[in-house]
Amino acid sequence: MSEIILNKERLIANIRQLLINNHRLKYQRALLEFENIDGSFLGDNVFETTFLLRDNQAPLIYEVSGPYDVISNEYATIGRIYEKGQCIFECNIKEQIQQRTAAMVCLFFESLKHKPNKILIIGAGKLAIEVIRYLNYAFPLIDCIDYHARNQRADTFETSCNDLGISAKFQDVMDLSDYDTVIMVTNTSECLIDDKNIESIKNGAVVASLCTTSQTGEITGEVYGRKDVNVLFDYDLTRSFTSDMRIADKAGYLKKVTLLKDILDVDVTLNMAEKKNILRITGTPMQNIAVLDMMREI
């Protein structure tokens, strides 16, 4: 089941519809973080439970959990669907989690009418490759990208891009000034974009931070509070899910946040051309439900 590739068009469409109809969803998310003996970060586990309301019928209950450890740098993701006290479906959706994350990037870009042209990918792991696959589907004219990582990945990342007809050029030094699209796919706890180098990003550019673990900061909190930055979240709980977001919120940096649902629901006017645009994507129940429903049909 874990090697199943979901239909990209359907997955993006299903996530979009669930976001539009999320008034029928009641969800909560819990994050458990673990420290090693020396106090360093060891791993985390995310528990997410969503009730899908069905008028007078008993709700469908979706449950997703995903323990991660920093030593192996691997995570597991198990999804279940319950009805009337019975588990009616269960599967490993680890590979599909990467697909639904990449689908969300494309849904965000399409909803914002943003067409990536000059692209920088920060990170070169499995999720970065999946993002490239979805970009190749949604924006087939893309024929080259730049990427920055700790080391050049000619045998994995570059080869995967080449298989899609996309040339991938390694950037040893992270220079943000030349790009209209920056996609951050890391598990670093460092803040790669701060109040200084954000100045080098040109107005109109879109920066997507995918927040792959609870320790991923990627962007310092004060950047979200800048007057020349539009802040967009995938959903409401992103504001409080990770410690860096809670700190940024407490400091008053998240006073003006636009949710993807707002963009899909109404004609939200964003001055994208004259500001830098930051997307914070932590993963939503809507994405997970879309995946589980499609897996259940197979």
Q: What is the pLDDT of residue 1?
A: 42
| Pair 134, 119: CB distance under 8 Å | no
The arithmetic mean of pLDDT across residues 187-198, rounded, is 87
> pLDDT > 90: what percent of the chain?
85
The model's pLDDT over 62-74, given as tens digits with 9 standing for 90+, comes to 999 989 998 998 8
Under 8 Å CB-to-CB from 41, ≥6 apart: which residues? 33, 34, 35, 70, 189, 215
- Rounded Cα distance between 11 and 291, Å, is 7
Mean pLDDT score across all residues of the chain: 93
Q: What is the per-residue pLDDT across 219-269, written as a single tens digit (0 to 9) for each?
A: 999 999 999 999 999 999 999 878 888 999 999 999 999 999 999 987 677
C-alpha 5/C-alpha 171 separation (Å) is: 30
Alpha-carbon distance 216 to 210, whole Å?
9
Q: Decide: 11 and 271 in contact? Cβ < 8 Å.
A: no
List the structure tokens of 92: 């490993």
The domain segmentation of the chain, as residue ranges, is 8-95+286-297, 96-284
What is the C-alpha separation between 107 and 30, in angstroms, rounded? 25
CA angle 124, 130, 131 (to 5 degrees): 80
Predicted TM-score of the model (pTM)? 0.92
Q: List, for residues 129-141, the tens digit of each pLDDT value.
A: 999 999 999 999 9
CATH topology of domain 96-284: Rossmann fold (3.40.50)
